[in-house]
């Protein structure tokens, strides 16, 4: 079922500071996940198969490439790791790129935080304000992102427009 996200991605010079700030806000720490995201060649949006130690899903999303909070329409199918699913998608669509990362996952209410170390790219922080069932408006989600941008002291110059898959290329 599709849902609405407003999200940001930014370079992160000091991952420990982000961990400490989230802890000081009593964020719920879900855990550290080793994730391999395989991005497939599709005509529009992005399609990736996430294989992790915590999160596993086939995810399709569409969003503009822009810095700062951006709307993302997400459709996700949660699944168990399955080599035949990856092989089938790879054969049918072709692989665009693979992103290998270590991700610390936190939650504050409906807002999900990722503190990432991406192989070949460096350190990043992501903020995703999520409305799974339309319980919040896009404006409310944008407001949450702005609030956490300020709280985490993320500079405008650190904001990224693209996904990891684009940066890998």
Under a CB-based contact definition with an 8 Å cutoff, are residues 7 and 126 in contact?
yes
C-alpha R_g of the chain: 15
Query: Is the domain covering 3-168 a CATH 3.40.190.10 domain?
Result: no
In 3D, which of 128, 98, 123, 101 has the Cα closest to residue 113? Answer: 128
Using alpha carbons, select from 128, 129, 125 the residue that is nearest to residue 153.
Answer: 125
pLDDT in the model for residue 1: 61
- Maximum distance among all Cα pairs of the chain, rounded to whole angstroms: 46
Of 119, 120, 121, 126, nearest to 104 by C-alpha is: 126
User: What token pair was written down for 164?
Assistant: 């990891």
Query: How many C-beta atoms surround the C-beta of residue 101 within 10 A?
Result: 19
**Average pLDDT per block of 10 residues along the chain, 169 residues long:** 86 94 96 97 96 96 86 91 94 97 97 97 96 87 95 93 89
Rounded to whole angstroms, the Cα distance separating 136 from 129 reads 9
Segments making up each domain of the chain, as ranges: 3-168
Among the listed residues 4, 141, 135, 154, the one whose alpha carbon sits nearest the alpha carbon of residue 67: 154
- Position 70 scores a pLDDT of 87
């Amino acid at each position: 079922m599709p849902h609405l996200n407003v999200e940001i991605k930014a370079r992160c010079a000091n991952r420990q500071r982000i961990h400490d700030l989230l802890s000081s806000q009593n964020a719920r720490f879900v855990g550290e996940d080793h994730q391999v995201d395989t991005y497939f060649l599709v005509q529009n949006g992005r399609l990736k198969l996430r294989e992790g130690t915590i999160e596993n899903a086939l995810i399709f999303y569409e969003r503009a490439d822009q810095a700062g909070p951006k709307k993302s329409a997400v459709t996700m199918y949660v699944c168990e790791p399955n080599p035949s699913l990856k092989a089938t998608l790879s054969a049918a669509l072709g692989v665009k790129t693979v992103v290998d990362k270590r991700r610390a996952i936190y939650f504050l209410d409906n807002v999900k935080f990722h503190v990432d170390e991406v192989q070949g790219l460096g350190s990043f922080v992501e903020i995703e304000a999520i409305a799974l069932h339309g319980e919040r408006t896009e404006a409310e989600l944008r407001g949450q992102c702005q609030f956490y941008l300020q709280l985490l002291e993320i500079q405008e110059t650190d904001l990224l427009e693209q996904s990891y898959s684009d940066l890998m290329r």
